[in-house]
Structure 1
């Protein structure tokens, strides 16, 4: 009885009618998890209430540390939308087993770029992680944080590409074997979307040199999750940037067994005293 009351209360609090709930039930087996995740993100802008029904009403773990746990926490965010509402443009969306991951341009309490990961059970969202960062000007090679390739291909190489990215992060970024970096790239043929770095390994080298001159360190300590669909792979890592506890989300496009393109969002992890849930960033 308690679970039924909670579920009904949350649905009503978010403005869903009984007809809406029935529509969600009929649709949840027709849409892919990737389509459901995209619909939920887009609903932040459109106000469509149906995708809220894709969230498990009694079992939803939240890893955005600024949002309270459960469906109630998600509802509280919607209720505090600023004048004019939110904006959400999903640029890329992917699926890997029970996980989906999306690359989105937001106006979410200010303009932002974000990656969102959802985990599904029985067709419903039961867990969410994200990384959000400020929108910046184009980088030295005139690429924005979200432009570039969107076409998913090489589905049969998903696991191979995930292994390549995982090995790159562990070998080069975590263990510091920069002498092996050339093994993962096709020479200087590398498109970069990080707002501070230009294209190619040469652009990466120049950026790292500039960081060293300014005493700025970037340390990767642990990879928590690697997800992929075909030629796209997202890695979620933990470390420090400029001495601050940091979450790194790095999206790579792989072509012919080499890393060909990169997007990222780097987010400083809030102090524990500021967390609105106890689930941790990862």
Structure 2
């Protein structure tokens, strides 16, 4: 979790949200939760407008990242740190690759590059009455993938909202049950399936094999929008607890694409506190 300052710097490059200035109360009260999160990235993190924090964050904001303070104080501290750094360059590419919403939950998938280091990040926010109330995340260092057709974060980004989210979640849940119980899980994998997890690609094994090898798997949240499904889970590997976020794309009742961000629970931290 020591890379949190680097994450903060990478996030300051975010410029993608189309939301207008937060001074328009009526607009901010009517936009979707996803738009609110993207506006938070742009205005609070990217433009460093600390004065707008009360517009976006509740006073008792719950932070599940053990490296960040609870409440608004944690966000305020991050913005104070960002203000000591050079502003993001004009026209910088947004690191936000995907944004998925179901009800009060919004998930963002980011690809951050800074000083030769590249990281995949998944942020999960919970909102209530248009304000951010809780935050979870996982951060994973990525290797150089220059020249590769398939990388840890590329692939499909547009959500097919004509696909029923409940059905997409059902397919992913059935797949997980089959994989964990070591039954016929491969029936849920599309023939054109694309894997974005480098460790799975290089192992020569299937996603089914990797799930079956995990110990004490606990599914915490399953969030879906259209054909995209996000699974937040906890598992053990080599006597170490891990936080795992996976994104699945479902097509024709089959899993067609898969991304993941995995992070070991820091020493001295209870795994439950990160969920």
Among 131, 138, 141, the residue aligned to 1:124: 131
The corresponding residue for 2:243 is: 247
CA distance 1:61–1:24, change in 2 (3 Å): farther
Q: So what's the TM-score if we normalise by structure 2? A: 0.78
- The answer as to 2:59 corresponding to 1:58 is yes
Residues in 2 aligned to 1:238 and 1:206: alpha-carbon distance in whole angstroms: 16
Q: So what's the TM-score if we normalise by structure 1? A: 0.76
The corresponding residue for 1:196 is: 199
Residues in 1 aligned to 2:215 and 2:87: alpha-carbon distance in whole angstroms: 37
Q: CA contact under 8 A between 2:163 and 2:227: conserved in structure 1?
A: no
Residues in 2 aligned to 1:231 and 1:42: alpha-carbon distance in whole angstroms: 26
Residues in 1 aligned to 2:239 and 2:189: alpha-carbon distance in whole angstroms: 28
Task: Give CA-to-partner distance per residue, 1:186-230, whole Å, 9 cap, x none.
Answer: 23x21011122339xx94349969xxxxxxx64351100000100
Counterpart secondary structure, 2:34:
helix
The corresponding residue for 2:140 is: 133
Among 78, 84, 90, the residue aligned to 2:86: 84
Residues in 2 aligned to 1:35 and 1:221: alpha-carbon distance in whole angstroms: 32
Higher normalized strand content (fraction of residues): 2
- The answer as to 2:273 corresponding to 1:264 is no
Q: CA contact under 8 A between 1:155 and 1:229: conserved in structure 2?
A: no
**1:57 to partner: Cα distance:** 3.4
**1:62 to partner: Cα distance:** 0.7
Residues in 1 aligned to 2:127 and 2:206: alpha-carbon distance in whole angstroms: 39
Counterpart secondary structure, 2:109:
strand
- The answer as to 2:177 corresponding to 1:160 is no
After the TM superposition, which residues 1-282 of structure 1 pair with which residues of structure 2 at under 5 Å, given as runs? 23=23, 25-43=25-43, 44-49=45-50, 52-81=53-82, 83-84=85-86, 89-107=95-113, 111-138=118-145, 142-172=149-179, 174-175=180-181, 177=182, 179-187=183-191, 189-198=192-201, 203-205=204-206, 218-219=214-215, 221-272=217-268, 280-282=273-275
Q: Which runs of 5+ in 2 are unaligned?
A: 1-20
CA radius of gyration, larger in:
1
Q: Which runs of 5+ in 1 are unaligned?
A: 1-20, 210-216
Q: How many residues align?
A: 248
**Bigger Cα displacement from structure 2, 230-239 vs 138-147:** 138-147
Residues in 1 aligned to 2:46 and 2:259: alpha-carbon distance in whole angstroms: 24
